[in-house]
Amino acid sequence: MKIPFHKLHGDKNDFLLTNIEDAPDGDLPGIAVAICNRHTGVGADGWMLVDRTAGENFDGSIRLFNSDGSEPELSGNGTRCAAALLARAKPGQKEFRIRTGAGIKHLRLLSNSGERYEFEMNMGEPHIVELHTTVQGRDATLVDVGNPQCVMPVLDFHFDWEAIGAATEHDPAFPNRTNVSFVRSIDAHTIDVRFWERGAGLTNSSGTGSTGAAAASIARGMVQNPVTVQTPAGILVIRVENKVLFLTGPAEYVAEGIYYSLITVRH
């Protein structure tokens, strides 16, 4: 079985995108695990199915699978990658509306140079579930930004935060698991963040994680609007307007090819 794909990354958070008409029927979570494997597959944090069929209020739809086969509601970096794929096919178009598992998201193309695109994405209004709570023995804030986020303020990263992130993802307090971010305040408008993503583990960057980290940091009085989010992969920017968060960041087209799947697919 052959599966065509496009590879893009948003701030080194990488995804494989396949047009829905090229996707096989059957075990999609199993295919996601196989194609995202960095040793025996193509390698990515997630596999995305893209439906370019436009609707009344959207230009296309996406369905995302994490590298472990789970299906999250939303990826900020991944949605920018889908917008870049649409923009690549529609030169001159500046506004994109993409239907995700967390609703329709509006993106505005800010710049384009070669295969690199920069978008501002409307992330919606965050919901602070618990401003102050304790998870895995650590101070935390719980935020919903279209998917669940557990944000932990830290003074530095000189501890095994990856292990804590993995334990927090599967903490009994989160029956559907959670994304985890560790946030260090730099100044009144800057935070430094590390990410443990539900279903993908350690990632260099996260759009929804950055949004949740910024929302929690603002709510706690750690920073003020706008917020620069420093990640191991680069910088993302969050601004707040009428309680709505807008995320600015890049998406870059990397490659295209065909994956030769060894998965037995049910027809």
For residue 201, the domain's CATH number is 3.10.310.10
Residue 214, domain member (yes or no): yes
Predicted local distance difference test score (pLDDT) of residue 261: 77
Residue 139, domain member (yes or no): yes
Q: Which domain holds residue 32?
A: 2-122+251-260
Instruction: Kindly state whether residues 189 and 255 are assigned to the same domain.
Output: no
Residue 267, domain member (yes or no): no
Residue 38, domain member (yes or no): yes
3-state secondary structure of 203: strand
DSSP structure class, residue 80: H
Residue 165, domain member (yes or no): yes
Residue found by looking up tokens 């329709």 in the block: 104
Instruction: Kindly state whether residues 39 and 88 are assigned to the same domain.
Output: yes
**Number of folded domains in the chain?**
2
Instruction: Kindly state whether residues 96 and 169 are assigned to the same domain.
Output: no
Instruction: Kindly state whether residues 231 and 153 are assigned to the same domain.
Output: yes
Three-point CA angle 236, 7, 115, nearest 5°: 65
Residue 12, domain member (yes or no): yes
Angle, to 10 degrees, between the axis of helix 76-89 and the axis of helix 207-219? 130
Instruction: Kindly state whether residues 81 and 180 are assigned to the same domain.
Output: no
Contact 5, 17 (CB under 8 A): yes
Predicted local distance difference test score (pLDDT) of residue 1: 82
Q: Which two tokens stand for residue 51?
A: 């439906």
Residue 266, domain member (yes or no): no
Query: If you count DSSP H runs as helices and E runs as strands, how many of each does the chain have, helices first?
Result: 4, 16
**Rounded Cα gap, residues 41 and 261, in angstroms:** 8
Instruction: Kindly state whether residues 112 and 6 are assigned to the same domain.
Output: yes
**Rounded Cα gap, residues 178 and 183, in angstroms:** 16
Residue 265, domain member (yes or no): no
CA 158 from centroid of its chain's CA atoms: 25
Instruction: Kindly state whether residues 114 and 145 are assigned to the same domain.
Output: no
Residues lower than pLDDT 70 in the chain = 262-267
Query: Amino acid letter at 197?
Result: E
Query: Which residues, other chains included, contact 9 with Cβ-Cβ below 8 Å and sequence gap of 6+?
Result: 15, 77, 81, 251, 252, 254
pTM: 0.93
Predicted local distance difference test score (pLDDT) of residue 263: 57
Instruction: Kindly state whether residues 137 and 224 are assigned to the same domain.
Output: yes
Three-point CA angle 154, 189, 122, nearest 5°: 100
**Rounded Cα gap, residues 228 and 265, in angstroms:** 44
Instruction: Kindly state whether residues 23 and 67 are assigned to the same domain.
Output: yes
CA dihedral of 68, 199, 171, 237, whole degrees rounded to 10: 170
Query: Amino acid letter at 200?
Result: A
